[in-house]
Each structure stands twice: as C-alpha cells, then as structure tokens.
Structure 1
Amino acid sequence: MKTMTDGNKLITERTFAVSQDRLFQAFTNSAELEAWWGPEGWQTENKRFEFEPGGIWHYCMKCEDESQGDFYGMESWGIGKFKEIQSPERFTYEDMFSDQQGNVNAEMPSMHIEVEFKPTDGGTMVVTTTTFDSAETLEKMSEMGMVEGYNSQMTKLNNYLAE
C-alpha cells in the first residue's frame, strides 16, 4: 500500500487483481464489508447499512484476537453518513467515532473520506483520500495507528477477494 500526506489529507493507494465492479461491490455490500472491514484480529458487525446518499452506516469493530493483549474484547464503534455515490467509480462519506446507540463522540475527529476505484492493467486501484480538520489531527490519528490499521485492513480485503 502506498501512503502519502498532503497537509490535512491522508491518501492511500492499493491495487487489487479484480474488476472495478467487483472491488466496488466489496466496499458497498453490507455482508461483504463485515467479512473484511477492520484490522487483522478484529471482526466488524454492521448495525445499520444504507448505501445511498444520506444513508447511514453504523458499525462495531471488536477485537477477537487474544494475542492483541489489552485490545482483546475491545469494541470500537463508528458511524458514517454517505454523501455522493457514483457507481462503480467512487463514493464519499463522513466517518465519525460513535457509541453503541450511534451518538457521535465529539472528542474524536470526524473524517471526510473519498474512495475511488480506478481500473488498471490486470485489476483496480482503490485510492482513499481521508481529509481531517487539520494537519495536526492527521498526525494525531497517525500516531494512534490509523495507517497501520488501514494497511492491515487492505490485506484482509486482498485475502477475502482471493477466496
């Protein structure tokens, strides 16, 4: 996975050996997302998933890997609101930390995320641009392991698509 920063933006690129339509589906189908979303050792459950402009995605990632020590058993809740959808080229959404009821955690930053699917020779490149309110917030989230977690998640997606 290639990772770059540009001010308050984190940009990642990774190519998968599947068609644009197939990769778009893996990102936009609730059951498929549950199969691979989240870092290694974590399982995701979608409580609500409405893939349409204005639709809500409320999910919980839970650590099920005992070898991850203090993280084992931890839950991380998030809520997203889909903004734009242009199938199968791209979609955008606002992603926020939340609680089990879907209340936004105002102490944590929200992120505007654009996911693009670009056909390449032999596959499709997914380009994810995550925009934070400031470069400092991006740095804080990077220090919390966001880039490593996303890279792990992309490895899970690659393995899922290969099955």
Structure 2
Amino acid sequence: MHHDTMFHTERTLLFSPKAVYNAFASADVLATWWGPDGFSNEFETFELQVGGRWTFVMVGPDGARYANQSVFTELEPASRVVIRHDCQPFFTLTVQLTQVADGTHLQWQQVFDDAHIAQAVKAIVEPANEQNLDRLMQALERFA
C-alpha cells in the first residue's frame, strides 16, 4: 500500500462495535453524519448487502450538488465495512471496528486509485475525514 494514495485516521469511540456499525447500517442515521462539516445527503439507493449499491447526492454548504455512487464490497456486522467509491475520485474506504475496554477502536483507511488525485485532494480529505468522524460521534450520542 503506497503512502501517497492512502489516508488513515483512527479514533476510540465510547460505544459498542455494534452501535458504531449500526450508524453505518441505518440509512437514516448515516445520512445525518456522512461527509464533512456543513454537508447534507440525499440518498437515492441504499442496499446494505455485499455488492449492494449506495447512490446519493451530497449537498455542500453553498448548495452545490455532488453525485456519489458506491458499492458495499465487505460487510461484517460490528466489525468491518468496506465501501468502493466507483465514480471520480475513485477510492476504497475500509472501516475496521475493534472492541476495546471503553468501547470501539475505529480505523478509517481511504485508498485512492490514483496517486496524483490523492495528492491533489489531500488538503481537503485529511480534515474532511476527521470532521466525518466528529459527526459520527455526534450521531452516536444522539441515536445510540
């Protein structure tokens, strides 16, 4: 795995792996936290199964609309979610959940197909991934 295509962040969440997984597995909850600060989501297709499609429009703070299409390539309840983003920019996101004493250790690994694109979006992606996990924590506090 090349460091120039991969972004990695991790965090310990004070919720069970099942609760964290469920924040991905419920379209209603996922729509509230997916993406960086200020974005909202309009889900079109959400098929939570291996090979299932997830298509949605991400709406930016300025009202700009970004079409997204992804496929769930691995789903292990309370353990692992792998999402293949199969439109530009192409990447695979692996979320690994490990039970720890005070909750769940979450590892978030985003690997871009193209190193040039990865470096071009690095300044956006790194803070966006942290904001995404902040929003996940907020959603867990509300819904879990």
Question: TM-score normalised to the size of structure 2?
Answer: 0.89
Structure 1 residue 87 and structure 2 residue 84: aligned? no
Alignment RMSD (CA, Å): 1.6
Q: Output the CA distance in 1 between the equivalents of 2:102 and 2:48.
A: 27
How far off its partner does 1:134 sit? 3.8
How far off its partner does 1:18 sit? 0.4
Query: Larger deviation: 115-124 or 5-14?
Result: 5-14
The aligned residue for residue 146 of structure 1 is 125
- Out of 114, 118, 127, the residue aligned to residue 107 of structure 2 is 127
Q: Which runs of 5+ in 1 are unaligned?
A: 65-71, 98-107
**Percent same amino acid at aligned positions?**
23
Partner AA of 2:53 in structure 1? I
The aligned residue for residue 97 of structure 2 is 117
**Pairs aligned (count):** 141
Q: Output the CA distance in 2 between the equivalents of 1:128 and 1:46.
A: 22
Q: Output the CA distance in 2 between the equivalents of 1:134 and 1:110.
A: 8
Q: Output the CA distance in 2 between the equivalents of 1:54 and 1:124.
A: 26
How far off its partner does 1:96 sit? 3.3
The aligned residue for residue 103 of structure 1 is none
- Out of 54, 64, 76, the residue aligned to residue 57 of structure 1 is 54
Higher relative contact order (CA 8 A, sep 6+): 2
Q: Pick the structure with greater CA Rg.
A: 1
Q: Which runs of 5+ in 2 are unaligned?
A: none
Q: Work out whether residues 17 and 122 of structure 1, in 8 Å CA contact, stay in contact via their aligned partners in 2.
A: yes
Partner AA of 1:17 in structure 2? L
Partner AA of 2:134 in structure 1? T
Q: Work out whether residues 7 and 134 of structure 1, in 8 Å CA contact, stay in contact via their aligned partners in 2.
A: no
Structure 1 residue 77 and structure 2 residue 57: aligned? no
Moved over 3 A (4+): none
Question: TM-score normalised to the size of structure 1?
Answer: 0.79
